[in-house]
Amino acid sequence: MSFLVAAGFQVMVRSVMKSLERGGYPEETARRRLFWFLQTSGWLGVGLMALYPLVQIFDIRTMAVVLVLRVSSGILVTLGLRWLYRRMGWRDWSWWGLGAVVMMLCVAMGTVDSLGTQTLSRFLTGSSVPQEIHSFLLLTGILLRTCVLMIWSLLYFGIKLWMETAEVKLRAAQSEASARTSELKQLRSQVNPHFLFNALNSILAEKDDPDAVERITQELAGYLRFSLRPAGDCQLLGEEIEALEHYLRVEKARFEEKLVYEIRVSPEAGAHRVPVATVQPLLENAMKYGRKTSPTPLRLLISADILPAYGVLKVAVANTGRWVDEDSEHSHGIGLSNLRRRLELLFGREARLTHTATDDGWVKVEAVIPLESMDEGRAVS
């Protein structure tokens, strides 16, 4: 039962804080407003709970005075406790020492509060309640007020610790997000120069043919208009495919009949957002190692489709040839490892990069991207 009450109270505090933050209040202002919301509503609740027993003893006028005095004094006493707690450096205390000091303070403040409010209420109302009843009410008031102050103190320290823990977690999450963003930017900076280097080599290979150089340069310019524009973490798959067609025409002009390529991208897949440079490293890998291991002509197939039943987008580049292990003398460079790391940073284990080699002489590298994660905007910006 106590667990449910604590959990419910925590949910209430969190919802009030979020409401205040949505209202545009700074964090410190939101905390102050939360304190006064809890302070006011809590003491009004205590007053309402005392309403029934007071009706049985006092007339309406006396009961109203007692309630106003008890609620007002409760607010003032807890403001005093708050002032003391904020200056006593309680975070450095042992729990036993802190508990003992808090208990003594609550007993002392509860006694003074009960004596003061009862004396003042008798003076203001001229109550004719017998002395023995007043004595009983005084003892009961001291006991109840001490318990209320103990509960108030427990909630005060509990909320403070909970908020501080939440702040630590938030700062850690922000630091992690910042680190991930920095790493993603560094990885993206490796992609375009690496890809551009290969395209420039294709132009150099045709340096003796001015018409070919002009044609290849125009195709490269078409790719650069896409790759050098400002971009975030995501783009439409169709936009990247369109840009990569320029690169493929560059390579086609260079290798002519030695290269055959085909693109099969469904309209649904082309309209879906994917991480920047998703297909590019797959194509680069196929071109580089396909030329070394494939019989002539080198055949390429770029495909992409959405699988609604599995909630994923599959993007694949297949080429004739054979798979070259990463630990062999033929390194896979930064392309696939770069993409694998970016997918891990953006989606964790929900995305994967796999490769397969078939008996008929084809190698396929496939990226599987969860649709829901992209729709929810999980990519780091």
- Residues 368 and 222 grouped into a single domain: yes
**Residue 279 is assigned to a structural domain of this protein:** yes
Cα angle at 334 between 221 and 232, to 5 degrees?
Answer: 55
User: Closest Cα to residue 159, out of 35, 1, 42?
Assistant: 35
Measured between alpha carbons, how far is 163 from 14 in angstroms, rounded to an integer?
9
Tell me the mean pLDDT in the region 152-160.
Answer: 86
Query: In this structure, are residues 274 and 240 in contact, taking their beta carbons and an 8 Å threshold?
Result: yes
Sequential DSSP letters for 108-167: HHHHHHHHHHHHHHHHHH-----HHHHHHHHHHHHHHHHHHHHHHHHHHHHHHHHHHHHH
- Residues 151 and 217 grouped into a single domain: no
Measured between alpha carbons, how far is 280 from 317 in angstroms, rounded to an integer?
10
User: Closest Cα to residue 74, out of 98, 49, 119, 40?
Assistant: 40
Average pLDDT, the chain: 76
pLDDT at 25 over 50: no
Write down the pLDDT at residue 261: 93
**Residue 43 is assigned to a structural domain of this protein:** yes
Tell me the mean pLDDT in the region 68-94.
Answer: 84
Number of domains forming the structure of the chain: 2
**Residue 50 is assigned to a structural domain of this protein:** yes
Residue labelled with tokens 């400002």: 230
**Residue 193 is assigned to a structural domain of this protein:** no
Note the pLDDT tens digit of each residue in 120-151. Answer: 777 766 665 556 666 777 788 788 888 988 98
- Residues 151 and 248 grouped into a single domain: no
Q: What contacts 109, CB < 8 A, 6 or more positions away?
A: 77, 80, 81, 145, 149
pTM flag (> 0.85) = no
- Residues 215 and 350 grouped into a single domain: yes
**CA separation, residue 360 to residues 43, 320, 339, 354, 363 (Å):** 79, 9, 27, 19, 9
Residue labelled with tokens 């030329």: 291
- Residues 225 and 314 grouped into a single domain: yes
**Residue 219 is assigned to a structural domain of this protein:** yes
Tell me the mean pLDDT in the region 160-175.
Answer: 71
Tell me the mean pLDDT in the region 185-205.
Answer: 63
The whole domain housing 231 covers 206-375
**Residue 138 is assigned to a structural domain of this protein:** yes
pLDDT at 9 over 50: no
Backbone torsion region of residue 333, taken as left when φ is above 0, otherwise alpha when ψ lies between -120 and 50, otherwise beta: left
CATH code for the domain in which residue 247 is found = 3.30.565.10
Helices (H) and strands (E) in the chain, counts: 11, 7
CA 252 to chain centre: 45
Q: Which residues pair with 313 in a beta bridge?
A: 306, 369
296, two tokens? 């002539």
Write down the pLDDT at residue 126: 64
**Residue 185 is assigned to a structural domain of this protein:** no
- Residues 150 and 257 grouped into a single domain: no
- Residues 314 and 238 grouped into a single domain: yes
Domain closes at, from 130, 158, 174 = 174
- Residues 158 and 215 grouped into a single domain: no
Write down the pLDDT at residue 112: 86
- Residues 30 and 167 grouped into a single domain: yes
**Residue 199 is assigned to a structural domain of this protein:** no
- Residues 212 and 295 grouped into a single domain: yes
- Residues 152 and 39 grouped into a single domain: yes
Note the pLDDT tens digit of each residue in 28-42. Answer: 677 777 778 888 888
- Which amino acid type is present at position 305? D
Query: In this structure, are residues 365 and 286 in contact, taking their beta carbons and an 8 Å threshold?
Result: yes
- Residues 44 and 134 grouped into a single domain: yes
Q: What contacts 103, CB < 8 A, 6 or more positions away?
A: 150
